[in-house]
Amino acid sequence: MMDKSTKYVLRKIGIDVLCLLILGLGPLYCLKYGTPYPRGFFCDDESIKHPFIESTVGNELLYSIGIAMPICGMLLGEYFHAKLLNKQSSLVLFGHKIAPWIPMAYNKIGLFAFGALISVFLTDTAKYSIGRLRPHFIDVCRPNISCDNNNSFEFQHKYHVNFVCTNNIGDYEHRWKDARLSFPSGHSSFSMYVSIYFALYLQLRVTWKGSKLLKYLLQTICLWMAWYTAMSRVSDYKHHWSDVLAGMLLGSIVSLINAFCIADIFKERRINKIGTTDLDKIKTVDYDIEPGMQNESSPLRHVSPTYGGIALDDHHDE
């Protein structure tokens, strides 16, 4: 029979996984069954007549680095932070005491993933709702409307919606669909979300006194990677500049809201600065100690790292 601590932790993990799965269903549905808004075009629109070229930063590279880099960084960051705290964990799972850095890393990575899925979901919603044509749309689609053979003013300025794509080279059906998903840039929104959130995490965890510039160098590298990814989408004719700008703004806003309102990653630093604080004045988060578990003899106490309502050290300050 499972102990109370194990049941509580498993329930928390189950709810978290369910929330992530629900958010992930939106982008997955769009990918498999979504149909972009059927937007037409003008023959004299030069912005959609660029050639199709392969992406400088492909999907595989974007998501492998965008997922692996922050997860590995957070695992290392929480491990060394827990070592510096030198606290013993009272978290028990199936009768085994869990190292304190594991639930700490779980919290950080889970909240990061939650925000990333929100960013992707909002981006895909806009893409399929608007259906803006990519700069290489004509090259990929090759519509059965010959704009070059009819130079009349009426024909060139007519908004063409009744057409069929004729380019059957390669995975043409996927390319036809993708050519209608220009706004906003998914690469730009995802890369900006990851880079800003991870840069803020580095601000929290990199406290080494050996070099003042190391932390800022790492943060600059994160932001440069996002900036380069966004600029490559324009030079590769995958997006219009306004698509990239909108994607960068969307990713940045979601990242900042997640970091400061949902995850509140700097809360522990604020608490450590004041030492003790009135608990009623601190915004509680999902993994704080539950009401009734603090010392009733005093409304003030030191806040220790917690997971699922269970303190990660064995002794509470009186």
The DSSP output letter for 50 is P
DSSP H helices in the chain: 4-33, 59-85, 101-130, 137-141, 153-156, 172-178, 186-205, 213-235, 241-257, 267-274
Distance CA 285, CA 307 (A): 11
Give the pLDDT confidence score for residue 275 in this predicted structure.
Answer: 61
Among the listed residues 194, 167, 165, 180, the one whose alpha carbon sits nearest the alpha carbon of residue 72: 194
The ranges assigned to domains in the chain are: 4-30+39-276
Radius of gyration of the chain measured on its C-alpha atoms:
25
The DSSP output letter for 171 is S
**Which residues have CB under 8 Å from 67's CB, separation 6+?**
116
Distance CA 255, CA 251 (A): 6
- On whether the CB atoms of residues 278 and 151 are closer than 8 A, the answer is no
The dihedral built from the CA positions of residue 58, 61, 66 and 67, taken in this order, carries a sign that is positive
Tell me which residues of the chain have a pLDDT lower than 70: 1, 89-90, 275-318
- On whether the CB atoms of residues 316 and 279 are closer than 8 A, the answer is no
The tokens describing 315, both together, are 């002794």
Beta strand pairing status for 96-97 and 92-93?
A: antiparallel
Cβ atoms < 10 Å from Cβ of 263: 22
Question: What is the three-class DSSP state of 87?
Answer: coil
Instruction: Please tell me the pTM assigned to this model.
Output: 0.84
301 forms beta bridges with: 277
pLDDT digit string, tens, across residues 71-104: 999 999 999 999 888 877 667 777 778 888 999 9
- Residue 310 backbone phi and psi in degrees, to 5: -115, 125
The tokens describing 138, both together, are 């004509």
Give the pLDDT confidence score for residue 293 in this predicted structure.
Answer: 42
Among the listed residues 229, 221, 163, the one whose alpha carbon sits nearest the alpha carbon of residue 190: 229
- On whether the CB atoms of residues 78 and 105 are closer than 8 A, the answer is yes
41 forms beta bridges with: 160
pLDDT digit string, tens, across residues 222-253: 999 999 999 999 999 999 999 999 999 999 99
- On whether the CB atoms of residues 28 and 114 are closer than 8 A, the answer is no
Give the pLDDT confidence score for residue 148 in this predicted structure.
Answer: 78
Give the pLDDT confidence score for residue 287 in this predicted structure.
Answer: 44
Among the listed residues 39, 249, 175, the one whose alpha carbon sits nearest the alpha carbon of residue 241: 249
Give the pLDDT confidence score for residue 75 in this predicted structure.
Answer: 97
Distance CA 190, CA 106 (A): 21
Scanning the structure block, which residue is given the tokens 């406290």? 207
Distance CA 256, CA 264 (A): 10
Active site residues: 187, 239
Among the listed residues 315, 307, 212, the one whose alpha carbon sits nearest the alpha carbon of residue 5: 307
